[in-house]
Amino acid sequence: MAQPDAAVDSEESTTVSSEQPKRGLDLFWEGTSRKARYRYWLHFGIYVVLLGTVVWPVFSVFNRIEPYVLGLPFNMFWVTLVLVFITINSYLLYRFDEGKLLGGS
């Protein structure tokens, strides 16, 4: 009796190629260098600080209408600025991880 296609697909997907083992997050991989771990923790810390400025006890400092910046109320400008910084941080982390930021190939 023939097996359904779903059963055949699930058997094929469980085989892992021996060329490149799955290692999960690079931060927790034992082969990650100390410098790379420090860089990952640095980027994580930047995320925590930036996201911490747009939640309650800290955001009350920035939660005001004036001064207007680029035509936006200050609180809306602040949230937009934090999102821009998070985007830049994500881009830099990606470029560092790919090795293409500082002279890598």
- Per the listing, tokens 């911490």 go with 52
pTM (2 d.p.): 0.69
Residue 4 lies in a domain: no
Report d(CA 79, CA 73) in Å as an integer.
Answer: 10
Q: What is the pLDDT of residues 23-70, one digit of tens each?
A: 556 777 778 888 888 988 999 999 999 999 999 999 999 999 999 999
Residue 19 lies in a domain: no
Q: What is the pLDDT of residues 72-83, one digit of tens each?
A: 999 999 999 999
Query: Lowest-pLDDT range, 9-13, 47-51, 87-91?
Result: 9-13
Residue 80 lies in a domain: yes
Q: What is the number of domains present in the chain?
A: 1
Report d(CA 72, CA 1) in Å as an integer.
Answer: 68
Q: Integer distance in angstroms from the first to the last C-alpha of the chain?
A: 53
Residue 5 lies in a domain: no
Contact 62, 75 (CB under 8 A): yes
pLDDT at 84: 98
Range of the domain at 76: 32-105
Residue 104 lies in a domain: yes
Contact 81, 69 (CB under 8 A): no
Residue 24 lies in a domain: no
Residue 85 lies in a domain: yes
